[in-house]
Structures are given as structure tokens and as C-alpha cells.
Amino acid sequence: MFKKIYTLLIVILCFAPLVTAQAEADSIRMMLEERDDEIKDLLGPKGTEYTQEQRDRLKDIINDVINYRSMAQHALGDTYNEISEEEREEFVSLFSTIIRDNSLNRLDIYRAEVTYNNIEVNEDSAFVATTAQLEDVRTSVDYNLERFDNTWMITDMTIDQVSTADSYNRQFQSIIRQRGFDALMESLRRRAARS
Amino acid sequence: MLNIKDLSRTGTIIFLFFIVCKPAISQDTLFVTLPEFLERGLSNSGQVAYESGKVDLARNRVRTVKSQRIFPRLELNTQHGVVPGVESKRQDLGEGEYYLDPDLENDWNNWAVFTRAELSATQPIYTWGAVSSAVKAAEAGAKSAQYEFSAVKAEARIQLFDLYYSYLLAIEISRILEDANEQLNRVEKNINEMREEGNPDLKESDVFKFEIFKSEFVTRRVEVQQSLDYIKRVWDYALQAEPGVVYMPASNFLDPVPYELQDYDYYRANAVQERPELRGVEFGITALEKRLEAEKARQYPLFFFGITGSFANTPNRPRQTNPFIRNNTNYGSVGVGFGIRQNLNILSMRASVDKARIEYKRVNDLEKAVSDQIILDLNERYREAAVAETRMKQTEEALVTARNWVRNEQLNYDIGFGDVEDFLDAVQKELELRVKLKQNVYDLNKKVAALYKAGGLPISQLNLK
């Protein structure tokens, strides 16, 4: 009798992580699909003119699932730990402003049909591989996600095999090396002011 | 009542009505998958049809040789006509004795139908294996022809495969050029803005470079458009396109075929087993071996069984009862017997056997030659496929780097550190690599298909869609 119970327990313990991972993968997919549907509803057909209110709403939906602090930390690399708390806060704020502003540069891309190729969940981090197809243009878009307070958030987007966080990191490091952190902050302030 | 003028006016109106209402000739677009394209292309290929005729001929030869096993000579000859009767003035002769009357005359008032039939047949009993060897030779010949046909089909299939992917390549490159055109417009707009702002980062050399690039780009677009038109025409020809129907690949993207390079030995072992050219030659050897046996057997006597029968009937002519006196219009006879036939031209027979022996030796040498050629071909295809795979993967990597470069330059612009020359170089390199990658994917697909053919593997094993 006990032998059977043990066997059952072992089976449950073996399969439990798989079941949980699948449930998490489903929840991530649902979250991304809901976001996608919401964006498409707001976008409407091609050629639609948008009011400022609609643009702001779009910006919110597109960006609300992105964790800017994490992305900004990755983008700044080791320098993030070397600067003061105030500088960090300002950097994160400027960084998020620029990305949020850039997110509306090409609205058409949000009309693409999304195919989910793979969702991998590993405890508190996840990787989602998708293909976005807009008319005859196919783009691979992959997301790195992490769980913050029980909510999955995007920490990096890899578009056509180019990581956004890595690109910023490479660029910021280059500017810091050549001109220093202050010059970078100055440029970011100027850029954010244009938003 | 309408007069001529009214009729003419009405006719003109009706004519104009039909002209105006004539539906515009619309073109249907038919999307074709690769397997469908291969199937349809093969069924329309003149070369494939011609080669299939050779297989039919070889099968026909088998039937002909087999038919020689049973009564190879069986003849029936009949004659029919009307002939007058005979009359004799002598009263002492009965009808069965008319041959004794030298003054026998035709009876022109008595006409009747004359019928004669002659049957002759011979059936070989023992041929020293000549007939059975000839049948086996013909059967092996038919199989050899079938394999030769498979080889021709495999070659045609490869050509169609290339043609299908050529279309996809042309589509992909035109798409990249469209995309590039958009990028160029953005860069031009950027340059104009910098010029208006009086931005010191804008160098005139960058503008010149950009203008040259734009001019070269126009040539490239025309080249691609011409290639696309050319491929469409070849497609229409290969598919025997119906008027008003445009054929297009069902897929819209040129991706590498699902494939994994195996060890060379895998392809070699399969080629030796499956290459239709080699199998064809193997059956050719068997065919000539059996033909040699048949030629040898023909040197020996042929034992046969023969039947002969003759019959003639004319009702108005007397039938002779004397068996030694034959009346050609009324008789019946039958004979059954056994015979031996021997060709005594020994020199001619030896020459035939020598000829068969030389042909047998030649086809054995051919097997070695085909085998050598297959191994050389396979080595070359394997090398090409391996190189093409590496080239494609490396181009993929280089493209990711170029995309990173473009992204960096865009970011530089975005935060105010942009450099026109660097940005142009990055965009140009990315475009070049995108085109190169698609060309390399096309090349890889071609090389993989060629490797499959060289290794005797059907390209359908690539799980094409």
C-alpha cells in the first residue's frame, strides 16, 4: 500500500514542474495575445488617422508589459552599479521615455500576424519565439520575460536576431568609453526632450 | 417597319453595347506547391515522354519474345473462288475415275464455290535454352530501360526543382529591393533634413556616395525585374500554362530545405544500391549475359514438333478415291511429325556469339565507368553541399552582425551621435548580405537536391511542401 503511495508521489513530483511550466507558458501566451488583440483593435485598418489620446493609449499598451528598469540596467552594464541612485533613476526615466517614443515610429508592424513558435519557461524567466508576418515581410521577434511580483514582464526584445538591450548596451558602452557617462546623459536628455 | 437605315443604327448600337459590356479579360492566379510543380512539369516534359517511349518499346520486346515460346510458326492459308464443273463424254467412267479420260472438259453450265485451306505449325521442343534465355534477356532489358527512364526523370526533376526555387529567389530579392528602396528614401529624407539644418556632420562626400549608390540601385532593380519576368515565362512554358492563368509558387518565402548533412559513407552506400544508372547497367549486364547464352544455344540443333493439314472442297468437281491421284480442288490430308533444324553456317554463328561476347564485355566495362562517374559525381556534390551549408550559415551570422551594425547606427542617430557615412555603409552592407543570404539559401537547396540525386535518394524525402 505504502509502496503504491510512494510511487504515486514520485510520479506527481516528476511531472508537476512540467505541468506548471506548461500552465505558465499558456498564461504568457494568453497575455501576449491579449496585448496583440488590444493593439490591433486600437490600430484599426491601414491608413487610420490617430488622435493624441489614441496614440497615448497605444503607447501604454505597447509598453506596459516592458520592464524598463531591468532593460536599462542591462543596457548600461557595469556602469549601472557605479552611478548614484539619483543618476540611475534619471537614466531609467530617460531610457524608458526614448523607447516609448520610438515604439510608435512604425505602427504598421503591430498589424502583423503573429505565430508563436516556442515558449520556454524556466522558473522565473521565460523565452518566447514568434514570427510576425506583415503582408510579404516576415520578421522573427523573440521576447525575454521575467516574473516580477507574480507578473510576467518583457526584459528584452530580439528583432530579426538583434537584441534591443544588447544594442543599447553596445552603443552606450561605446559612448561612455569615448565621451564619458555625462555626455551620454546629456544626449539622452536632449533626445527625451524631443519626445 | 424598320428601314435599312434603322436596322443599321440598331446593329451599331447592339455592337457598341457588346463592346462596352464585354467583360474584361481577367487573369486567374494559381498557387502551385513544389510537389505539384514537379509532377506537372514532369508530365509536360518532352524529354521524359520521349524516354518513356523507350520503356514501352522494351516491354513490347518482352511480349514479342515470350510469344515465340508457343508455336512461333503457325500459318493458316485459305483460298476461295468459283470454278466450273467437269464433264466426260465416256459413259463407262464413274465420277471417281474421270482422271482416266484425257478428253475431260469443263462444264460451263455448272458453277460451284471452291474452298481450300492449308495449316502448318511448328513448336520447338528443345532449344538448349535459347528461347528461355532470350525471354530473360528481354525482361532484363526492359528493367534496364525502366531504370534509364528513372535516371532521366531524376535529372528533369532536379531542373524543375531549380526552376521552382529560382522563382522564390526572384520574389525574395524583389522584396528586399522594395524594402531597400524605402530605406533609401528615409536616408535621402535624413540627408535633406541635415542639409536644411546646416548640420556640420553632413559631408559632401557622403552625399556623392549616396547618389552613386542610388544610381546603381536602379540598375539592380531592372535586373531583378527582368529575371522575374524571364522566370515567369519559363514557368509558363514548363507548366504549359493556359491563357489567362498566372502560376505562382504556393510558398512566398525562400527557406532552406529541411535537411541534415549525413556522413559521406551514407550517401555512397545508398548510391551504389539505388542510383538508377547503376541499376540500369546491372540489368543491362544480365540482358547481355542471357543474350550470349541464347546465341550459344543457337549453334546446336533445334528439335521441334510440326503439324501440317490441307483441305480443299469444290462440290461440282469429283473427289478421287485413289489416294495416289490428287485432285487439287477436292482433297484432305493431315500430318504430324518431329524434326531437327540445324544452321550449318558455323562461321556466321561463331561471329554472332563473338559479337554477343564483345557486347557483354563492353557493358561490364560500362558498369565500371558508370560506377567511377557516380563516385566522382557524389564526391563533388557532397563537397558542394557541405560548402553551401557553411556559406549559408556564415552569411546568416554576418547578416546578424550587419543588422546589429544598422541598429547601432540608428541608435546613434536617435541619440545624436549619428554619422551619415557609417549609416550608409551599414545599410548597404545589410542589403548586400540579405541578398547574398537568399542567393546562398537558393544555392544550398540546389546543392542538397543535387546531392540527393547523386546519392540515389529521391528529393521527395526532403519533406517538401
Q: What confidence tens digit (pLDDT) does each residue in B315-360 have?
A: 988 887 777 887 888 989 999 999 999 999 999 999 999 999 999 9
Asked casually if ipTM beats, i.e. exceeds, 0.90, the reply is no
Q: Which of A136, A140, A156 to mutate to test the interface with B (most CBs of B within 10 A)?
A: A136
Its sign, for the CA torsion B281, B286, B290, B296, is: positive
pLDDT exceeds cutoff 70 at B234: yes
Instruction: Indicate the pLDDT class of residue A149, thresholds 50, 70 and 90.
Output: confident
Q: Which residue has the higher pLDDT, B11 or B456?
A: B456
- List C-alpha distances in Å: B106 to B109, B111, B320: 9, 10, 17
Residue in B380, B443, B399, B453 with CA at minimum distance from that of residue B165:
B443
Put simply, the answer to whether B403 touches A162 (Cβ < 8 Å) is: yes
Cβ neighbors of A195 (< 8 A, separation 6 or more) are A97, A98, A100, A101
Q: Which residue has the higher pLDDT, B7 or B238?
A: B238
B396 to chain A, closest Cα gap in Å:
10
Q: Determine the 3-state secondary structure of B323 from DSSP.
A: coil
- List C-alpha distances in Å: A30 to A33, A125, B62, B118: 5, 16, 68, 94
Put simply, the answer to whether B408 touches A188 (Cβ < 8 Å) is: no
Put simply, the answer to whether B400 touches A175 (Cβ < 8 Å) is: no
Summarize the confidence of residues B275-289 as an average pLDDT: 95
Residue type at B210 in one-letter notation: F
A188 to chain B, closest Cα gap in Å:
6
B346-414 and B264-274 helices cross at what angle (nearest 10)? 140
B177 to chain A, closest Cα gap in Å:
12
DSSP A23-68: HHHHHHHHHHHHHHHHHHHHH-STT----HHHHHHHHHHHHTTB-H
The answer to whether B393 faces chain A, any CB pair under 8 Å, is no
Residue type at B45 in one-letter notation: S
Summarize the confidence of residues B399-413 as an average pLDDT: 90
What does the pLDDT read at residue B57?
96
The answer to whether B31 faces chain A, any CB pair under 8 Å, is no
pLDDT exceeds cutoff 80 at B26: no
Residue in B171, B253, B411 nearest the CB of A167: B411
Put simply, the answer to whether B415 touches A162 (Cβ < 8 Å) is: no
Residue in B289, B459, B450 with CA at minimum distance from that of residue B384:
B450
What does the pLDDT read at residue B91?
86
What does the pLDDT read at residue A7?
63
Burial zone of A117 (CB within 10 Å; 0-12 exposed, 13-18 middle, 19+ buried): exposed
Query: Residue B245 is inside which H or E element, if any?
Result: strand B245-249
Say how far apart CA A34 and CA A40 lie, in whole Å. Answer: 10
Residue type at A134 in one-letter notation: L
pLDDT exceeds cutoff 80 at A3: no
Cβ neighbors of B282 (< 8 A, separation 6 or more) are B144, B367
pLDDT exceeds cutoff 60 at B432: yes
What does the pLDDT read at residue B320?
79
B408 to chain A, closest Cα gap in Å:
6
pLDDT in tens, B135-153: 999 999 999 999 999 999 9
Global pTM reads 0.79
Instruction: Indicate the pLDDT class of residue A108, thresholds 50, 70 and 90.
Output: confident
Query: Residue B144 is inside which H or E element, if any?
Result: helix B130-197
What does the pLDDT read at residue A104?
80
What rounded mean pLDDT belongs to chain B? 89
Kindly give the pairing relationship between strand A151-159 and strand A137-148: antiparallel
Instruction: Indicate the pLDDT class of residue A14, thresholds 50, 70 and 90.
Output: low
Put simply, the answer to whether B403 touches A168 (Cβ < 8 Å) is: no
Summarize the confidence of residues B56-74 as an average pLDDT: 94
DSSP chain A: -HHHHHHHHHHHHHHHHHHHHHHHHHHHHHHHHHHHHHHHHHH-STT----HHHHHHHHHHHHTTB-HHHHHHHHHTTHHHHS-HHHHHHHHHHHHHHHHHHTTS-GGGGGSEEEEEEEEEETTEEEEEEEEEETTEEEEEEEEEEEETTEEEEEEEEETTEEHHHHHHHHHHHHHHHH-HHHHHHHHHHHHHT-
The answer to whether A122 faces chain B, any CB pair under 8 Å, is no
- Set of chain A residues whose Cβ sits within 8 Å of the Cβ of B411: 167-168, 171
Query: Residue B53 is inside which H or E element, if any?
Result: helix B46-67
CB B356 within 8 A of CB B134: no
Put simply, the answer to whether B400 touches A162 (Cβ < 8 Å) is: yes
CA angle at B179 for the pair B175 and B180, rounded to the nearest 5°: 115
CB A111 within 8 A of CB A134: yes
Kindly give the pairing relationship between strand B302-313 and strand B105-126: antiparallel
Instruction: Compute the CA torsion angle B316, B317, B322, B328 (nearest 10 deg).
Output: -130
Instruction: Indicate the pLDDT class of residue A194, thresholds 50, 70 and 90.
Output: confident
- Set of chain B residues whose Cβ sits within 8 Å of the Cβ of A102: 414
Q: Give me the total of CB pairs closer than 8 Å, taking one residue from chain A and one from chain B.
A: 42
B412 to chain A, closest Cα gap in Å:
7
What does the pLDDT read at residue B96?
79
Put simply, the answer to whether B417 touches A175 (Cβ < 8 Å) is: yes
What does the pLDDT read at residue B77?
97
Q: What is the DSSP letter of B328?
A: T
What does the pLDDT read at residue B419?
76
Residue in B252, B404, B416 nearest the CB of A191: B416
